[in-house]
Amino acid sequence: MKPNKAQKIWMYEHMLVSRYFEESIEKIYMEGKSPAFNMANGPIPGEMHLSNGQEPCAVGVCAHLTAEDVVTSTHRPHHVAIAKGVDLDRMTAEIFGKKTGLSGGRGGHMHIFDAAVNFSCSGIIAEGMGPAAGAALSRQLQGKTGVAVAFLGDGAVNQGAFHEVMNLAAVWKLPVVFVVEDNGWGISVSKSDSTAVEHNDTRAAAYGMPGYRVINNDPVAVFEVAGNAIARARAGEGPSLIEIETYRLAGHFMGDAEGYRPDGEKDALHSKDPIPAMKRLLVAECGWGDSEELEITTKAHFRVDQAIQFARDSAYPEPEEALDKVFV
């Protein structure tokens, strides 16, 4: 299925929101961390994994999902969370560790939970696979609508959980789709140094599951392939695997010197930045002009700035709140 104009614009808009969000987080993250870079300092402490460049994976898939559908994401979750419709104010407040955050500051950037849109993520590689399959099982058992999508990285495919869950989902014909964001790296280790096959879509055959690969980090191609896989899941025909060639434009996390990158890789990736590419497509196919661009950009910036203001204005939790919510 091809995206119509509205869907293309929806994708572009969410790509813009996500990118501007990450750029803003990047700046704020550095507050209080210079001259001496110490992760513990600043308004956003701890690790920070930015998704710049990987927006196509998020929007191309989530364009087909509603709030009732379930998504599990990774340690690099912002773009997916935004495309899934997570409450941006409360997500930002969570990243700042504020009381108004989705989890009251208990989780932070690697632990974004928004029950209202069935989104969650985690910091352990491939850990979202099981819960996605389980949510899909829940819908199957209850005869309820809704599918589950598990996002994971190319490095995560080599984790045992991937194999176990792929097999289980296939044996039980669960309404779930597995989406591999292939940015070619697992921190400093390249996909080719860690993966025995060139591309992971070939691994779907090991589970009698359809496997697809999308190249060139193309949101429209992702939309088409994901649309079919998700429709298949909704129709009760079982799970699919999609590997998307995408670009990690930033470091693995903030503070990464990226010395492991081959010369020129960074520039080459930036020259293929999916956001200008998507804009060119809108201009070519959807009569996109400066006024539309200005309007959508302004709107995107406004939403993000508003969320960041909300986070900054929010209070920190009381220290003792650390003791709550261990059990409910």
Ligand X SMILES: Cc1ncc(C[n+]2csc(CCOP(=O)(O)OP(=O)(O)O)c2C)c(N)n1
Site for ligand X in 162-181 (CB under 6 A): 181
Which CB, 195 or 314, lies closer to ligand X?
195
Which CB, 19 or 75, lies closer to Mg ion?
75
Candidates 105, 153, 227, 274; binder of ligand X (CB under 6 A) is 153
In this chain, which stretch among 60-68, 185-193, 207-215, 283-291 interacts with ligand X, using CB under 6 A? 185-193
Helices 129-142 and 160-171 sit at what angle, rounded to 10 degrees?
A: 10
Distance in angstroms (rounded) separating the CA atoms of residues 5 and 40: 44
Which CB, 196 or 328, lies closer to a copy of itself?
196
Instruction: Tell me how far, at minimum, the Cβ of 162 lies from other proteins, in Å.
Output: 10
Which residues on adjacent β-strands are paired with residue 237? none
Instruction: Tell me how far, at minimum, the Cβ of 53 lies from Mg ion, in Å.
Output: 11
Which residues on adjacent β-strands are paired with residue 245? 182
Q: Specify whether the CB–CB gap between 79 and 54 falls below 8 A.
A: yes
Amino acid identity of residue 274, one-letter, is: P
Binding residues (CB under 8 A) for a copy of itself: these are 158-164, 166-168, 170-171, 193-197, 202-203, 205-209
Distance in angstroms (rounded) separating the CA atoms of residues 272 and 291: 24
Instruction: Tell me how far, at minimum, the Cβ of 128 lies from other proteins, in Å.
Output: 9
Candidates 18, 72, 103, 183; binder of ligand X (CB under 6 A) is 183
Determine which helix (DSSP H) or strand (DSSP E) holds 55, and give its type and residue range: helix 55-62
Instruction: Tell me how far, at minimum, the Cβ of 221 lies from ligand X, in Å.
Output: 20
Q: What does 240-285 look like in DSSP terms, one character per residue?
A: EEEEEE----S-SSTT---TTSPTTHHHHHHHT-HHHHHHHHHHHH
Candidates 52, 100, 120, 183; binder of Mg ion (CB under 5 A) is 183
Binding stretches for Mg ion (CB under 5 A): 153-155, 183, 185
